[in-house]
Amino acid sequence: MSTLVTGIGELVTNDPALEDGPLGVIPDASLVVEHGHVVWTGPSSEAPDADERVDLGGRAVVPGFVDSHAHLVFAGDRAGEFEARMSGARYDGGGIGTTVAATRAASDDDLRARLGGLLAEMRRQGTTTVEVKSGYGLTVDDEARSLRLAAEVTPETTFLGAHVVPAEFAGRADEYVALVTGPMLAACAPHARWVDVFCEPGSAHAFDGDQARAVLEAGRDAGLGLRVHANQLSAGPGVQVAVELGAASADHCTHLSAADVDALAGGTTVATLLPGVEFSTRSPYPDARRLLDAGVTVALATDCNPGSCFTSSMAFCIALAVREMRLTPAEALWAATAGGAAALDRSDVGRLAPGARADLAVLDAPSYRHLAYRPGVPLAHALELPSVRA
């Protein structure tokens, strides 16, 4: 079964082989899908025949968003914490404990229903690949359960047992790290592709550089890829540890020294920026322009979670990145698609060239520029194709 998607006013391929800069834009385009993969892209005037035809009436098509950082297995609600922040309270990660208590008390079915609801919400807004972290269980069984549930919906599962030190280990962070790197990792690694740690020496709840290194090295020895919550609340060792250990991504990067930018530029670690967090914690935005100018690969993700940022909208993050972080609309879209794919070490998503997955986001707009130009307007949705379902 092949499908010709035609009437595409503007197709963003992210195909570097095409002339038009990194986005590889084809105007008046068509695209052919077979067995869930793109097999042809080009001008509509040259399109081949196919078994079925879908006409998009001049809408723009972009690669489905790759949201490479999200915390979607949780119960409870922290709207009150958000409200307090908007009245001046500071975010320090302490509220994570509230979500841990609610998540431990929730049934599998409740967690599964919330997770499914958030994924559907993301898909309705154009996200077709999502990474899902544990980190609200913080016992061997609760972390393993979170990852089992996450693995039901995505291959991009991340063990975040080192999210915060749970209340029952207060004052005994090193003992908790021993649990995370020992029995908890053993129970979680079979369900995870990645390991992550909240490296934030400035927070009373998170982990310092040595503890982060211990968690990452143990995860690496168990066969997991590495990601780090780095430099969110203050400049610290997170980015340097991430680059040194060859992590796929250092996430947040809100407070970077010149040495941090140099380290990222000299390494292979993607800088994943999460502007929804700065928005929702009323924090200064990182300067994405400075990273791009230094040659760093930048990704954008939502960090969708009940505490620091409860948005599921990649389009909102694109608009923030353009308005507040000095990315161009083209750079922000690339970061939200190809950048996210790079942060997850994936070459089959984040682009729409032959061989890639047929993950299409359709915009109710003539151009990708509208994603930033029309903030808050739900323009993007994932395209469902019969030939992809088959």
Does position 143 interact with Fe ion (CB under 5 A)? The reply is no
CB nearer to ligand NIG: pick between 60 and 138: 138
d(CA 267, CA 243) in angstroms, rounded, equals: 6
Kindly indicate which of the ranges 12-20, 58-66, 306-314, 358-366 contains the residues binding ligand NIG, using the contact rule CB under 6 A.
306-314
Q: Report, in Å, the least distance between residue 16 CB and Fe ion.
A: 30
**Binder of ligand NIG out of 95, 166, 219, 275 (CB under 6 A):** 95
166 interface partner picked from ligand NIG, Fe ion, none, CB below 5 to 8 A per type: none
Does position 96 interact with ligand NIG (CB under 6 A)? The reply is yes
CA–CA distances in Å: residue 165 to residues 95, 184, 291: 12, 14, 31
Q: Report, in Å, the least distance between residue 303 CB and ligand NIG.
A: 5
Are the C-beta atoms of residues 6 and 42 closer than 8 Å to each other? no
CB nearer to ligand NIG: pick between 129 and 231: 231
Phi and psi at 329, nearest 5°, equal: -55, -35
Binding mask 194-213 for ligand NIG (x = CB under 6 A): ----x---------------
Q: Report, in Å, the least distance between residue 100 CB and ligand NIG.
A: 9
**Binder of Fe ion out of 10, 15, 200, 303 (CB under 5 A):** 303
Does position 307 interact with ligand NIG (CB under 6 A)? The reply is yes
Among 314, 313, 312, 311, residue whose Cα is nearest residue 299 = 314
CA–CA distances in Å: residue 183 to residues 37, 147, 151, 243, 292: 40, 15, 20, 27, 40
Does position 277 interact with ligand NIG (CB under 6 A)? The reply is yes
Among 74, 45, 262, residue whose Cα is nearest residue 163 = 74
Q: Binders of ligand NIG among 316-335, rule CB under 6 A?
A: none
Does position 232 interact with ligand NIG (CB under 6 A)? The reply is yes
CB nearer to ligand NIG: pick between 256 and 360: 256
**Binder of ligand NIG out of 67, 131, 156, 303 (CB under 6 A):** 303
Angle at 335 between CA 331 and CA 336, to 5 degrees: 120
Angle at 231 between CA 229 and CA 235, to 5 degrees: 160
Residues 6+ apart with CB under 8 A from 205: 92, 93, 94, 96, 97, 164, 165, 198
Q: Binders of ligand NIG among 67-86, rule CB under 6 A?
A: 71
- The alpha helices in the chain, defined as continuous H runs, are 79-86, 96-105, 108-123, 140-151, 173-179, 185-188, 209-221, 238-244, 258-266, 275-281, 288-293, 314-325, 329-334, 340-343, 370-373, 386-389
CA–CA distances in Å: residue 47 to residues 54, 251, 268, 290, 336: 13, 41, 38, 41, 28
Number of residues that bind ligand NIG (CB under 6 A): 14
Binding mask 259-298 for Fe ion (x = CB under 5 A): ----------------------------------------
Residues for the chain: how many in total?
390
Q: Report, in Å, the least distance between residue 259 CB and ligand NIG.
A: 22
Q: Report, in Å, the least distance between residue 69 CB and Fe ion.
A: 6
For 21, the token pair is 């800069």
Interaction site with ligand NIG (CB under 6 A):
71, 93, 95-96, 99, 198, 229, 232, 277, 303, 305-308
Interaction site with Fe ion (CB under 5 A):
303
